[in-house]
Amino acid sequence: MSQISALVKRHRLTTFFILAYAVSWWAWIPYAAGAFPNPIASFGPFLAAIVVLALTEGKVGLLGLFRRMVRWRVAPGWYAVALLLPAVLAAAATMLNVLLGAEPPTATELSKWPGLFSTFAIVLLIPGVGGAWEEPGWRGYALPRLQSRRSALIASLILAALIAGWHLPSRWPGRFTTPTSC
């Protein structure tokens, strides 16, 4: 185990990315067979970050990641803006569309709106449902380490390319006829 730990410590980011892809892409095989709902296990980057942190920094590293995940960085009012703005924009777009001559939404269509709020709450409170478990790995673990030797722009571009590559199985032709959210 000490040889593996030493190797991981020397190549932390490489290990993270290899694990993130491997842990995430195992789902492609059962998905192709029709036995799994998504081609990517979205928790892969988070699990990879936990494994690499446990091997390289131990409990201190893990606690640091978990603390950053729950730290409020702006005033609570901005969170309200972030959560309500999409609904306000959708309502404004619908009204503008109707003012420009489109058919107004029917009562049946409008009756579905309350269901959207409960769905949104579930996705917000249970991040794995919406694919948010990838973010603590990408932005909580990989991005700060990429930025330690590069500018924020270069680090973000590198990470963007790797994240785009990570999403490729969800865009594969054939069985993957409709893109899925990761």
pLDDT for 50-66, tens place per residue? Answer: 999 999 999 999 999 99
Q: How far apart are CA 142 and CA 147, in angstroms?
A: 9
Task: Give the percent of the chain with pLDDT over 90.
Answer: 41
Q: What is the CA radius of gyration of the chain?
A: 20
Query: With contact defined as beta carbons under 8 Å apart, do 56 and 8 qualify?
Result: yes
* Inter-CA distances, 122 with 2, 46, 57, 86, 130, Å: 42, 19, 33, 16, 9
User: Domain coordinates of the chain in residue numbers?
Assistant: 2-171
Residue 137, both tokens: 């790995």
Q: What is the DSSP letter of 103?
A: P
17 pLDDT band, cuts 50/70/90, is: very high
Query: With contact defined as beta carbons under 8 Å apart, do 17 and 161 qualify?
Result: no
The model's pTM: 0.70
100-126 per-position pLDDT tens digit:
999 988 888 878 777 777 777 776 666
177 pLDDT band, cuts 50/70/90, is: very low
